[in-house]
Chain A
């Protein structure tokens, strides 16, 4: 491999920082991807300036090698990652976020052309390096953005799961879980954690799992229900499954689903009555009239 000429990009970045920054800002502001509603010009300027400084330092220290993983490029990666993550949360698209890096190209190329005017080969070399570098950094930015989005979606799914499994205290020692929707394994984990936590908090001895809102009960769903019942039992609480619609009862029998010794009741009311009896509690009519 022929020896590569040392790059003059760090020098160019430093020498022409002010003009480049102005040019770059103008390009960013004029771009269709500019989201003035989400980030102010001052903020953008500050970020752009910081980036130029870090970029110059990194190229100075490590050239163009190992941009994705090298230690010298870490400050640049970290800065882009921070910007990218915050943009992702703010609602920028990956393209809008990556535009931060890509829009620097014309500004940098202008200055390279200026500095290396008559040296065609030299110009080509530097332009090629700058192009490759900014492409890589731009793509990195888009990747971080994507991962950040995925993390947000995951968190939202988690939140939704938790919201959709409320645990209600019906009476001292009696909890009810109205389950709505399909009971997959992820949901079961959340249900178990929530239920067990509430058992501890309320000292419940009976938990009623109402499956009126569960569309079908196949072998897998039954397994999940049994897991939940078993977990509660290990903590000293008995479970009653209620809300068994006639169709569900038929499916259970047809599929030969084994519910073991789990107590089942057709309605939540029946289950509640049974829970009261189990705790030696009863409901009495108050005979004295209200004053």
Chain B
């Protein structure tokens, strides 16, 4: 169940900072430990940057979740950019796209509990990650 949600524009590098800050605020509110806060905020930074630099800009939806007794923080980064042709490759560590920007998806995946990616070449990419308390 979504207790609260907010959509942030990701169009400039300053927006990446805003996404980090929002994630941090909500993670603190949800009662995450410092290490868990850092993990989800860092993952958010990676994904938002991908959206901006690989996807040409898009949105970041932050959601505070409640499921039974536990609370979670979910982030969905979406763009309508070139998409990722070979997802398997992109999820492997050390994968970089053609202009040398590391997508860091494999790493970001290790920082969260739930990870889902939907990408179609020519249409765009959507990555959803969740960290539970």
Contact = CB atoms under 8 A, between A and B. Distances in A.
B35 A151 contact: no
Nearest to A189: B35
Contacts, number: 5
Nearest to A193: B35
Interface string B39-74: 000000000000000000000000000001100000
A80 to B, nearest CB: 14
Contacts of B69: 147, 151
Interface in A145-186: 147, 151
B95 to A, nearest CB: 19
Interface residues of B, number: 3
A198 to B, nearest CB: 15
A147 B68 CA distance: 8
B46 to A, nearest CB: 18
A151 B69 CA distance: 9
A113 B68 CA distance: 37
B123 to A, nearest CB: 35
B1 to A, nearest CB: 9
A193 B69 CA distance: 25
A36 B65 CA distance: 40
Interface in B27-46: 35
A12 to B, nearest CB: 33
Interface string B63-96: 0000011000000000000000000000000000
Contacts of A193: 35
Contacts of A189: 35
Contacts of A151: 69
Contacts of B35: 189, 193
Interface string A84-121: 00000000000000000000000000000000000000
Nearest to A185: B110
Contacts of B68: 147
Interface of B: 35, 68-69
Interface of A: 147, 151, 189, 193
5 contacts: A147-B68, A147-B69, A151-B69, A189-B35, A193-B35
Top 5 A-B residue pairs of the complex, sorted by shortest distance between their CB atoms: A147-B69, A147-B68, A193-B35, A151-B69, A189-B35
